[in-house]
Amino acid sequence: MRVAVPLEVKAGEKRVALVPDIINKLTRLGYEVVIESGAGDHSQGTDSAYTAAGATVVKGGVISSADIVLSVQPLNPAQMATLKSGAITISFLSTVTAVDSIDAAIKAGVTAFSLELVPRISRAQSMDALTSQALCAGYRAVLVGAEMSPRFFPLLMTAAGTVTPAQVLVLGAGVAGLQAIATARRLGAVVSAYDVRPSSADEVKSMGATFIELELEALEGAGGYAREMTEERAAKQRELLTPYIAKSHVVITTAAVPGRTAPRLMTQAMIDSMEPGTVIVDLAAETGGNVEGSKPGEVVVTSGGVRIWGGKDVPSQLPFHSSSLYSRNVVNLLTLMTTATKDGAPVALNLDFADEIINASAVTHGGVRRDPSAGGAK
């Protein structure tokens, strides 16, 4: 049974779905692994490294003959159309933004799995690509903030006098936010953080940061995500956060919920309260933005001299480690649905939709769009 990894075709995407180090996990199960030449170039996965790991490297298209296609970004409709009926794809596959790819998968009779839909349960932690990639994004956000800021991050005692540390504020204390806190603390900044879920306070404090407590209703939601807030509550939250934002040198926003528009955390009025030269890093710019005026992949400079960095393909900016983590997530999901070769029997797939993980993450199967809540087709 053939597993294929194509070149990523989306502009700016530097990750690869399989790194050489993990190929042997698939070959031991009995899979034949085929890599399109150059697929791992950005993540330090050379063609020779893949060959040495046991994969076959092919120039040109590799997906038309594949039983399973692994990618980071969803295959586009043209790619889906080349797959054989019954093929399986595993990738990020947003049910909101990748509708064309989903429709093409249905038409082609492809079973498409979305890593965004892997449930947040203990058994699925090793398959949770959203978490692994958010970790990369949180780390990268602080490096961007430190590079753009005209200030030192740490406290410095010099013969010329004392350099005071930067004040960093992180909005959202999920995986990306916690990694941002940890990274900013390692660089010596004084860090504070806010999250609508008071349960995150202990994690924030354990990293040496100050948790900002506002007199507002908690918004604890399912799966570790925050519940959607009313506009009235959002306005009150913005009002109470403004004094903290005004005294910050770097603000990093990380609030996002898969499949929804990012919540607006900072308005223009809040941005205008900041000093010239201060920096905002908006990790949610691609999904609508936490910050008014942010643009994905651009640095916007306000009339007041505040610079807003809009995140775009942020985990892809660290392609070596983001690819390594993503590969493990993908292989663990594929292993879950695999019956390994044994006693001469070939490797086989077992798509057990009674399994909570397989059921939740399968978007299409048998030429129809699935409804996980019903355990089958819509």
Strand-strand pairing, 68-70 and 88-91: parallel
Q: In this model, does residue 315 exceed pLDDT 80? A: yes
Let me know whether 19 and 38 are in one domain.
yes
Let me know whether 239 and 287 are in one domain.
yes
Let me know whether 150 and 262 are in one domain.
yes
State the pLDDT confidence band at 260, using cuts at 50, 70 and 90.
confident
What span, in angstroms and rounded, lies between the C-alpha atoms of 303 and 197? 34
Tens digits of residue pLDDT in 84-97: 999 999 999 999 88
State the pLDDT confidence band at 234, using cuts at 50, 70 and 90.
confident
Let me know whether 304 and 226 are in one domain.
yes
Let me know whether 164 and 312 are in one domain.
yes
- Tokens representing 17 are 């779905």
CATH of residue 231 = 3.40.50.720
- Tokens representing 29 are 């199960």
Residue 375's pLDDT is 59
Tens digits of residue pLDDT in 143-171: 999 999 999 999 999 999 999 999 999 99
| Mean pLDDT score, 50-77 | 97
Residue 282, domain member (yes or no): yes
Residue where a domain terminates, one of 301, 317, 333: 317
pTM here is 0.92
366: closest CA among 182, 40, 110, 89?
110
Let me know whether 159 and 274 are in one domain.
yes
Domain containing 270 equals: 137-317
- Provide the mean pLDDT of the chain: 94
Residue 172, domain member (yes or no): yes
Between 225 and 89, the more confident residue is 89
174 near 257, Cβ under 8 Å?
Answer: no
Residue 120, domain member (yes or no): yes
- Tokens representing 290 are 């936490």
Could you tell me the strand order of the sheet in which 368-371 lies? 56-58, 32-36, 2-5, 68-70, 88-91, 111-114, 362-365, 368-371, 376-377
Let me know whether 210 and 301 are in one domain.
yes
Residue 132, domain member (yes or no): no
Residue 171, domain member (yes or no): yes
Let me know whether 114 and 104 are in one domain.
yes
Greatest alpha-carbon pair distance for the chain in Å reads 75
Residue 108's pLDDT is 97
Residue where a domain terminates, one of 267, 297, 317: 317
pLDDT above 70: percentage of residues in the chain: 96
Among positive and negative, which fits the CA dihedral 277, 282, 286, 290? negative
Number of compact structural domains in the chain: 2
What span, in angstroms and rounded, lies between the C-alpha atoms of 194 and 213? 7
State the pLDDT confidence band at 226, using cuts at 50, 70 and 90.
low
Let me know whether 248 and 301 are in one domain.
yes
325 near 136, Cβ under 8 Å?
Answer: yes
Residue 79, domain member (yes or no): yes
Q: In this model, does residue 283 exceed pLDDT 90? A: yes
Let me know whether 141 and 281 are in one domain.
yes
Let me know whether 224 and 83 are in one domain.
no
Residue 342's pLDDT is 85
Query: Half-sphere exposure (CA, 13 Å, Cβ side) for 160?
Result: 3
Between 61 and 108, the more confident residue is 108
Q: Which residues contact 375 (CB under 8 A, 6 or more apart)?
A: 353, 354, 359
CA quadruple 172, 176, 178, 184: dihedral, nearest 10: -100
201: closest CA among 214, 211, 209, 191?
211
Let me know whether 262 and 357 are in one domain.
no
